[in-house]
């Protein structure tokens, strides 16, 4: 299999289309923000979850400063019109 690089918007568009038609997608981990739990090259299974089902301690994939990352939820707040999560890498 050949590795290809795509821009962030295309990644999210393709990922959302796959998640809408399938149950999950697989990705390889990169970077060390979740080390030692996740190491570069570890296989990740990503699935779509409704925001109200997220809990402290869950690991989510999100975009921060135009970079796609996986971080742990360390806190959240919700009100009638929004749901905000606070994330942090383990390392």
Nearest Cα neighbor of 41 from 26, 59, 28, 32 is: 28
User: Is the distance from CB of 3 to CB of 56 less than 8 angstroms?
Assistant: no
CA distance 90 to 88: 6
Residue 52 has pLDDT above 60, yes or no: yes
What is the predicted pLDDT for the residue at 28? 86
Residue 1 has pLDDT above 60, yes or no: no
Q: Parse the chain into domains and list their residue ranges.
A: 8-88
| Residues forming beta bridges with residue 68, ordered by sequence position | 63
Long-range contacts, stretch 24-32, CB < 8 angstroms, 24+ apart: 29/70, 31/69, 32/91
Question: How do residues 2-43 score in pLDDT, each as one tens digit?
Answer: 667 777 677 777 887 888 888 888 888 888 988 999 899 999
pTM above 0.75, yes or no: no
């Amino acid at each position: 299999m050949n590795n290809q690089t795509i821009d962030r918007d295309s990644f999210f568009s393709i990922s959302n289309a796959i998640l809408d038609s399938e149950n999950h997608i697989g990705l390889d981990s990169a970077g060390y923000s979740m080390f030692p739990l996740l190491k570069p090259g570890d296989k990740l299974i990503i699935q779509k979850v409704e925001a109200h089902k997220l809990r402290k301690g869950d690991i989510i994939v999100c975009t921060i400063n135009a970079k796609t990352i996986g971080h742990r939820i360390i806190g959240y707040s919700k009100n009638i019109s929004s749901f905000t999560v606070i994330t942090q890498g383990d390392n």
